[in-house]
Structure 1
């Protein structure tokens, strides 16, 4: 569903009007979706994590067509140096890393740099409020003889914050050969909260795809 939703969000975007910016690009899933939807677009992929950025660089570097039009930037929105307005922005699976104050700055800066009518594609990951989440499988990938499994649980730590506790296991022949645990803070945001915050920044939000997907498209109205 990810690729089709990104393609739907970018429908009508003129790739000659400015770069497509993927904020929190991770290992490049969004970059590939943008590249497929807009084959001539200039793409700026922004990722603060050095580990994820290394995978992203390897993915881009292995494809000559991507190498010609994808710029990988370490850091955040402020690290994007181009003076051009952004034709579109992806902010997938990243907004929970920002607290309320940081989000206000983020939305305001983003709205200022987004071209009039240009779409912001953003999603909200559960939970939408600070509640406990029981251990839940998150990923399972088989590579060669090994299975790579991820799971996570969350515990509330503030009125608008949870801490995610993730476990990553490597399994071969039914035996766990490696295990790593990671914890990080995540600020929760409801749909109503997202709409209110975007509205304050001058962006109008609506659902993109089925409501259960939790994906939204925000736009700065033309002329503003």
Structure 2
């Protein structure tokens, strides 16, 4: 049974409308906080392209559709973004609705982190598009994300702003700060990267992660492979 959903958010962002537009309406910008995808004034489904204030995209397939809208307003040197995502879910409506609401909060928070700490830079998206780096199939089990958080060194008393010193096997030491901490999502920011961890086991899917790596990246595939090995070891 199909049913329509809608997700609406309004957020303040520490950047001008032009900077926000570059983040949401260019492939390079999207890679820096979401994932890279082709986008242009004449791209598939583009119904409004009014830089830097209004972007709307709607993709239709028969009775199914997926639509995104960004409305950007300047506000005292910063910007207010109204974000609307609506469409059709075919199966497991309540689970998918919960997932899209929680993912939206995490993604828009990451957009804010990008604009506050890495504005004007572009990132290499490490991993497969759009999912990033996936844990093993069995990581859809109930305790999987708790195991990832434990492996990252997270303990209950930690909170947003806590510094972390991570020693993943086979990878360079990672020093960062917790910038997002919810039961199903963890964000860690370093001076050169945004690491995002997704407890998608809460929605019946494997745990995953994405890396938005700023600066020169010599071997993105190698980095992804090593983090994949880390996830497989933690969750195997």
- Asked if TM exceeds 0.5, the reply is no
Q: TM-score, normalised by structure 1?
A: 0.26
TM-score (normalizing by structure 2): 0.25
